[in-house]
């Protein structure tokens, strides 16, 4: 398990923890990123991380991406 900010581009991960405040967490979950959801890292350079979750692309500020703990999907090709 590691923060989303450290995930590689193209990686598919499962969200394990969201250690952000109530507001940020509610906002993430309402946009389709909740604990247990599978997300794909579309872009991760130095700025915010872009993930694909439930059919849409969402940019997440780097600070927040440090607080989202993810785990690599096991059944990779």
Convert the chain into a string of H (helix), E (strand) and C (coil): CEEHHHCCCCCEEEEEEECCCHHHHHHHHHCCCCCCCEEEEEEECCCCEEEEECCEEEEECHHHHCCEEEEECCCCC
Given the complex with another protein, which of 3 and 48 has the nearer CB atom? 48
23 binds another protein (CB under 8 A): yes
Query: From residue 32 to residue 61, what is the string marking binding to another protein with x (rule CB under 8 A)?
Result: x-xxxx----xx-xxxx-x--xxxxxxxxx
14 binds another protein (CB under 8 A): no
User: Which of residues 30, 74, 76, 77 is near another protein by CB under 8 A?
Assistant: 30
């Amino acid at each position: 398990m590691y923060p989303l900010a450290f995930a590689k581009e193209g990686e598919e991960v499962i969200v394990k923890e969201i250690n952000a405040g109530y507001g940020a967490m509610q906002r993430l979950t309402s946009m389709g990123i909740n604990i247990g959801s599978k997300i794909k890292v579309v872009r991760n350079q130095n700025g915010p991380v872009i993930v694909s979750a439930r059919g849409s692309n969402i940019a997440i500020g780097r600070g927040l991406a440090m607080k989202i703990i993810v785990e690599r999907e096991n059944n990779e090709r």
